[in-house]
Structure 1
Amino acid sequence: MAIVDDRHYRQLLTAAVAKRSKKIQDIVYNATPLTRILRDGGRIQVKRAGGPELRVPIEFDKLQAQWFTGYDKIEITPKELLNSAVFNWSRVVSMFSLTGTELLYTRGEEEVIDLMSFYVRAAEKSVKEEFEVALVGDGTGSGGRQMVGFGGAIPIVANTGVYGGIDRGDVANWRTSSFNATTDFTDIGTVWDATTARPIIERISLNRSRNGQYADLLIADGLSYQAVSASFVAHQRLATERSARLGYAGLAYHTPAGLVEIVAAGGVGNVIPANTIFGIDTQSMSIYEFPGQSFVPFHPGDGMRPINQDAVAQGIVWSGQMVLENPLFSYRLRTVA
């Protein structure tokens, strides 16, 4: 029984992939607090394809108001308020193949479905892990094909480099902030610990806020999180309404800017930089998906069959980009020198 002669098995593969792909989006987006929050807030959006680039209109300047009296001259100098941030679409795929021989010795329809489900689950796991790596990456991975994550959106040096085609050196409102806990808050302390963690977070939250907008989600590596956790007493360890509803664990600070949630990134395969906290304004971050490319089968129909091999190939693909549309309120905090 060669696969080239048995369309039935290829159709089983198609059904297995299509059925599983509907669940993969939930699995991936439920994997991190950030993606849960973005989905809950409607910040995962399908962007109509307008060519090979993703263009996001952004407001990077503001009009000036002035006080005047009598014959004072009113300032009417033209000012460009809107521009487009331009990103490449990033694509990730996990492929697998099955030979006719493998299917030949898998007898019975149920055994075939089990075999295919195993490969689909493996593809699902691979896509999920690559997506999580990209969330904290700078977009340079895989020769610049990787999604632009925190490393590119919230860099260590905030006033240099190009993000979305806009030079941060030229546009102040297109910059995030960068702090070092050991050198930038000497009146509070020069060591990141249970005593200094809370006042440092409070100061940054207040200073990097305006009109109720601020970094409301802090993602910390395990080392940085320990000091935050140690600064709480038992009765302060309360879940926020958002974390309880979306089902992730974290701590919450009431800062002068508003409620801030702190979650730890760790575990096997953790990729967040050591001694680092990312402060993210979740109102300003979105994940844009290319139409029809949200964790779907890579090949249409019953998969791709090479003309000179008794095999069939299929995979799971996602195409999109993560965009920090208003960088002004997000920041990176280094907790060691």
Structure 2
Amino acid sequence: MPSPNLSEIVTTTLRNRSGKLADNVTKNNALLMRLNKKGKVKPVTGGRTIVQEIMYAENSTVKRYAGYDLLNVQPSDVMTAAEFDYKQVAVAVSISGLEELQNRGENELIDLLEQRIENAEASLMNAIALDCYSDGTADGGKQIGGLQLLVSTSPTTGVVGGINRANWAFWRNQKFSGVNDGGAAVTPANIQSYMNRLYLLCSRGREHPDLIPADNDFFRYYWESLQAIQRITNTELGEAGFDNLKYMGADVVPDGGYGGGAPAKSMFFLNTSNLFFRPHSDRNFAPIGGERVNPNQDAMVKLVGWAGNMTMNNAFLQGVLTA
């Protein structure tokens, strides 16, 4: 049976690292890093679901008038809300009684735990980073609803945040297919033209995409289209470890290939002012409960978990470019 001293060491170590883990997760993903910088990582404190308010219509009482004309003072229904379910993910850190005996002394135990915890943290960070691009269907729908759900290639179908896109046009994102909408598959020769068309669809006044994550192929196509001219990059993202280019003021970043989450042959046009990462304040990469010991096993397990979801309050300013 693991000793109480060991349990205390594990618990203290995990608690000391949980805040650092939450910060490192946002730095592990260009989208989360941008959301964090813009104050769009918004913890929730409870509730049956995560509620995201939406301004879906303009105020219909706007009226031009002269003199004593009557004005329209009827109430306008301009607000609604989307409801997103909590999604949960956890990782286990374990140590056996034999390992405790083999690593006697507090320092030896901490060295062993550091390696286990660092591996667990990296695994959890990678899972969250990948889920940010998901459609939310993995593990029977227990996955975070990521970009493939929020910014879909089939925006006229499906339910997102409890709102049926087949019935509500305001909740549909923009999409552009090279083959179906442009007449030819995306190549370095035509990608800028296709990007221009989608960018305009996702813009409204001063609101426009500010982050464009792409898979390796589409990032390369855009990169090669710029070979003959000077390439402009964002030094802030570069210093954070993300390769990037610029397009109309937006940062274009690659997130495909090995370990990348962007689906093949895709490029997302994101107005990150309308996207949110919503962790629960009590389960934001935090230890879950006490130690878990099986009655017939000489080992102890500690869990680190996260609960929350990705949400959105405007769909038509988001877009996706596909082959």
Letter in 2 for 1:41: K
Q: Distance in 2 between matches of 1:90 and 1:107?
A: 39
C-alpha displacement of 1:314: 0.3
5+ residue gaps in structure 2? Answer: none
Q: Distance in 2 between matches of 1:308 and 1:244?
A: 51
Q: 1:327 aligns to what SS in structure 2?
A: coil
Q: 1:46 aligns to what SS in structure 2?
A: coil
8 A contact 1:223–1:274 mirrored in 2: yes
8 A contact 1:123–1:315 mirrored in 2: no
Q: Which residue of 2 aligns with 1:323?
A: 311
Q: Deviations over 1:279-307 (max 9, x none)?
A: 1111110111112211111224xx23334
Distance change in 2, residues 1:62/1:321 (3 Å)? same
Q: 1:23 aligns to what SS in structure 2?
A: helix
Q: Distance in 1 between matches of 2:152 and 2:33?
A: 23
TM-score under structure 1 normalisation? 0.88
| Alignment of structure 1 residues 157-176 onto 2, 5 Å | 157-176=154-173
8 A contact 1:222–1:264 mirrored in 2: yes
Q: Distance in 1 between matches of 2:157 and 2:310?
A: 20
C-alpha displacement of 1:241: 5.5
Letter in 1 for 2:148: G
Letter in 2 for 1:333: L
| Alignment of structure 1 residues 175-324 onto 2, 5 Å | 175-186=172-183, 190-233=184-227, 236-240=230-234, 242-244=236-238, 246-254=240-248, 259-300=249-290, 303-324=291-312
Give the percent of matched residue pairs that are identical in Structure 1 and Structure 2: 26
Letter in 1 for 2:300: V
Q: Which residue of 2 aligns with 1:40?
A: 37
Q: Which residue of 1 aligns with 2:79?
A: 82
8 A contact 2:175–2:198 mirrored in 1: no
Q: Which moved more, 1:234-243 or 1:97-106?
A: 234-243
Q: Distance in 1 between matches of 2:76 and 2:167?
A: 15
Q: What's the Cα RMSD here?
A: 2.2
Q: Tell me the matched-pair count.
A: 322
Distance change in 2, residues 1:245/1:114 (3 Å)? closer
8 A contact 1:60–1:171 mirrored in 2: no
2:16 is the alignment partner of 1:19: yes
Q: Distance in 1 between matches of 2:63 and 2:187?
A: 45
Q: 2:42 aligns to what SS in structure 1?
A: strand
| Alignment of structure 1 residues 84-103 onto 2, 5 Å | 84-103=81-100
C-alpha displacement of 1:240: 2.6
Choose which of 52, 55, 69 in structure 2 pairs with 1:56: 52
TM-score under structure 2 normalisation? 0.91
C-alpha displacement of 1:102: 2.0
8 A contact 1:18–1:296 mirrored in 2: yes
C-alpha displacement of 1:161: 1.2
C-alpha displacement of 1:69: 7.0
Q: Which moved more, 1:311-320 or 1:268-277?
A: 268-277
